[in-house]
Chains A and B, each alone.
Chain A
Amino acid sequence: MKRRMTFRQWSANNPFISAFLHNKKAIVGLGIMVFFVVVAIFGPLIFPYSPEIDYANYLAKPSWQHPLGTDGLGRDVFRQLIAGTNDVLLVAVLTATITISIGVTLGLVSGLVGGFVDRLIMLIVNVFLTIPSLPVFLILAALFTVNDPLSFALILSIFNWAGLTRAIRSQIISLRERDFIQICKVMDMSTIHIIFKELMPNVGSYILINFILVMKNAITGSVGIMFLGLAAFEPTNWGAILITAKDFGALFIPAARIWLLAPIACIFSFQFGIILLSSGLDEALNPRLRKA
């Protein structure tokens, strides 16, 4: 009879999990990200946000009723931030998903098929890597009305996939010549098997880390677009709160300090979590960096 394993035993046997659990950076980073996900899901239920305008109460100081004070129109800043978390996370995750799907697919095809297809894909990749991305983002955001997370994510993905495609391709090419893949080919195993059972486990960690890093780029990009006021999006999005505060003149008004600084603090702490998690994962998954 199979003995039940406790979590502790299981994690001690799995080298990746144990390396991950012993890496403080990764744990802290994961904790921060889980915190934001929980806030995005349950926050609006506990602290519902109402966009009602209350002129009498504008730029109120922090109190029990308004933990971070109110904005220039008397709306609660704390609840606005919570309501915005969902959109920020959604844009980030969608962008990462789209970017990774395109990058991994094209990288695999380019690396495995080779020849003309490879050269064509690499040409397109090089073109996209050279065209400066931010100006094009801004134009796209201004031309197409961006009002839902998906179109936002599509615009942000256009310029993120190219670098990833190139990196995946070079990894696939170096793996392709290794013995275990050659053996699979000799044994006439299907391409599906080679891709999903042999190649994917080897590039999986790389893809996971990039997923997280693309999320960071997506947040930087989306907040930037919001900041220039080029997207007609929910006024609760962090970038939108920031630009509303700046346009209101929060830079001059001492009472508006928290209104201006709170979204920056949110963006900073979320990205801080992303970077800690990605570098922790890198240390845990990458045998070269793993501390003995």
Chain B
Amino acid sequence: MKKIGKVFTRFWAILREIGYRYRYMWQRLGLALVTLFFTTIISFFLVRNIPGDVILSYAQELAIQRGITIEEAMRLAVQILNYDPEANIFVQFFEYLGGLLRGNLGSSMYVLDVTVVRVIRQTLPWTLFVASIALILSFLIGTWLGTRLAWRRKGAEEIAVSSYIVVSNSIPDYLFGLLLLYVFAYTYPIFPTNGNYDIMTDPGINLPFIGSVLYHAALPILALVFTQVGNWALMMKGSAVGVLGEDYINAAKARGIPDRIIVKKYLKKNAMLPLITSLAISFAYLFGGSTLMETIFNYPGIGQQFASYIGRLDYPMIQGILFFISSVVIFVNLIADSIYSLVDPRVRRDA
């Protein structure tokens, strides 16, 4: 009996130790869950705006298509849309939650057999492709510029880069995209005006297909990179100036370590650390902001679909896509926070 008690105490101590050591991560996880719950509530209340007669006309369409009575079609419609206008609000909410847990994000109420899951499966890869390439490129260029700015404070380079930052910040990214489209796709038809790849190529891992994908994504990526680089450069400059004041930089200089290595190994690596969480914020911005950019370039990603469903007021589709976009963003934020706390132990101690 005593032995079991001892084992239990040991076990409890280990559990407490884990809970304590990773308390920052637990907090973040809890926050992510709360945010996800809020998003669910927001998207749930959206669907309560559905006018009742929409369900009726949906049922009528079903009845005609499948040759069943209108009562049966009504029941089927409630089942497919996972929304019963006559049920109690709490029952509706739990039905909705149950649907989400079963992976049923909803289906279109105007077009039969179009579901959120299918739309996501078709369009998500394209949005992820554009957003991640733009994020990586702008991060690399921006941090490089920011380090240079912090290392050499005065001179023509600083003026040029600061002017670029002001100018690129002054134009919303989608308007810059529109300008690019106007100049390089319509006035001088170098790049395509819509689509994500040439239908003449064969989707798969082959050179013509990859080339055509890059060719179609070039303008949206360029527009995003142009407007994002300035922010990264500013953030990196601020962070690097702080690092330059640290003792270990002076110590490295005193030891006669070449400048090139100081910048690369001491300055850049340490200054990049705080930018990890900004990566998640920037990704969220690019991913959530894909709506405008993809609409302008007629790029068939998730954002363009989202905008078109909003335009048609197809509530279940809007609800499902909003829920999906938000969960991706919440998840990415959680990952970034966790990575940051692993890389930089100071965060864990402060929590």
Interface residues of A (CB under 8 A from B): 123, 126-127, 130-136, 138-139, 142-143, 219-220, 223-224, 227-230, 242, 246, 251-252, 260, 264, 267-269, 271-272, 274-276, 279
Contacts and interface: CB of A to CB of B under 8 A. Distances in A.
B288 A134 contact: yes
Given A134-B288, A139-B310, A224-B292, 4 more contacts: A123-B34, A139-B46, A228-B291, A228-B307
Given A123-B34, A127-B34, A142 B174 contact: no
Contact of A127 (B38, B172, B325): B38
Given A127-B35, A229-B311, A134 B289 contact: yes
A84 to B, nearest CB: 15
Contacts of A246: 178
A251 B284 contact: no
14 contacts: A127-B34, A130-B330, A131-B42, A132-B287, A134-B291, A135-B321, A139-B318, A219-B172, A228-B311, A242-B178, A246-B178, A267-B172, A274-B170, A276-B166
Nearest to A263: B175
Interface in B168-205: 169-172, 174-175, 178-179, 181-182, 186
Contact of A131 (B285, B295, B310, B326): B326
Q: In terms of DSSP, what is the predominant structure of the interface of chain B? A: helix
Contact of B170 (A130, A138, A143, A268): A268
Interface string B20-63: 00000000000110110011001000100100000000000000
B150 interface: no
A246 B325 CA distance: 28
Contact of B172 (A136, A220, A274): A220
Which of B34, B172, B174, B306 has the largest number of chain A CB atoms within 10 A?
B172
A123 B37 CA distance: 13
A130 B167 contact: no
Contacts of B285: 132
Q: Which 10 pairs from chain A and chain B are nearest by CB?
A: A132-B288, A272-B170, A220-B172, A271-B170, A251-B186, A127-B35, A130-B35, A132-B329, A134-B288, A142-B310
Contact of B31 (A123, A133, A223): A123
A263 to B, nearest CB: 9
A264 B178 contact: yes
A132 B181 contact: no
A37 B333 CA distance: 40
Contact of B166 (A132, A138, A279): A279
A143 B47 CA distance: 11
A161 B49 CA distance: 27
B313 interface: yes
A135 B178 contact: no
Nearest to A269: B170
A60 to B, nearest CB: 20
Interface in B283-303: 284-285, 287-289, 291-292, 295
Contact of A275 (B166, B289, B306): B166
Contact of B329 (A130, A227, A267): A130
A126 B27 CA distance: 12
B329 A131 contact: yes
Contacts of A276: 166
Contacts of B46: 139, 143
A126 B33 CA distance: 12
B279 interface: no
Interface of B: 31-32, 34-35, 38-39, 42, 46, 49, 166-167, 169-172, 174-175, 178-179, 181-182, 186, 284-285, 287-289, 291-292, 295, 306-307, 310-311, 313, 318, 321-322, 325-326, 329-330, 333
A242 B167 CA distance: 20
Contacts of B329: 130-132
B181 A251 contact: yes
B244 to A, nearest CB: 14
Given A251-B182, A267-B175, A275 B291 contact: no
A135 B326 CA distance: 9
B166 A227 contact: no
A112 B125 CA distance: 46
A152 to B, nearest CB: 16
Contacts of B178: 242, 246, 264
A228 B174 CA distance: 11
A228 B49 contact: no
A138 B38 contact: no
Contacts of A127: 31, 34-35, 38
Nearest to B43: A139
Contacts of B49: 143
A162 B181 CA distance: 34
A260 B182 CA distance: 10
A227 B330 CA distance: 27
A269 B171 CA distance: 9
A127 B326 CA distance: 11
Contacts of B35: 126-127, 130-131
Contacts of B311: 142, 228-230
Given A126-B35, A133-B288, A135-B288, A230 B310 contact: yes
A135 B333 contact: no
Given A134-B289, A134-B291, A252 B322 contact: no
A149 B49 CA distance: 24
Contacts of B171: 264, 267-268, 271
